[in-house]
Structure 1
């Protein structure tokens, strides 16, 4: 049996705020929230099967490098939707700027960055 991805842990500036927009846009729910290592806080947000652990340390550092050029860096997180245009409208309504639109086999996609400059790809498969 192949391994299944359960979660990914990201460091963000405000896990509650990030989880809130993810719940609104992606239809996810908060699975758990509480104190974390180094005086920080973590919020687990996603579905019953998969989630993102959104962590902030007690004293966060500042990102210094472009993740696409950093070994071990996070390039982007991708989500799928059945309504790409509707999802883009909702993302713009939250104040995010979308770009890098493209059609490719077998679907369409666009990208946006959140307040922490984490890149997200939104895909609709045909």
Structure 2
């Protein structure tokens, strides 16, 4: 049986450029593509050459009305693997964001943060 590889996830955000700059600054990613999308929206693919987050916006987004952990099909968090957890946390803090839930257990260490649209990221290192 062939093994699948995750290529991307698609997240609606309020400001594509602001979120793209945050992802570039924190994770060292780049904008792979940006252009028009469905419903007169805009999409930007931000990530590496092999995987990315698709950011989508029509410019008129609604705030989430409940916690995703209680919403069937909700996005709970995006996990990102880094080599240097302390350096990644400094970049998150430098972006004006707050880290929380620092944990270490097999197989690694992690912390979490919420971005400008309240999307939660788990930053993990196995180093």
Aligned to 1:56: 57
Deviation at 1:73, TM superposition (A): 0.1
Aligned to 1:7: 8
Cα RMSD over matched residues? 1.0
Distance of 1:85 and 1:100 partners within structure 2:
14
TM-aligned CA distance change 1:99 to 1:39, over 3 Å: same
Distance of 2:22 and 2:41 partners within structure 1:
20
Does the 8 A contact of 1:38 with 1:58 survive in 2? no
Deviation at 1:21, TM superposition (A): 1.1
Deviations 1:3-60 (A, max 9, x none): 1111111000011110111011111111100111111111100111101100002432
Aligned to 1:83: 84
Aligned to 2:105: 104
Aligned to 1:34: 35
Deviation at 1:61, TM superposition (A): 2.2
Structure 2 stretches lacking a partner, 5+ long: none
Does the 8 A contact of 2:14 with 2:60 survive in 1? no
Task: Give the TM-score, by structure 1 length.
Answer: 0.96
Distance of 1:82 and 1:109 partners within structure 2:
11
Does the 8 A contact of 2:14 with 2:59 survive in 1? no
Aligned residue-pair number: 126
Structure 1 stretches lacking a partner, 5+ long: none
- Tell me, yes or no, if structure 1 residue 43 matches structure 2 residue 44: yes
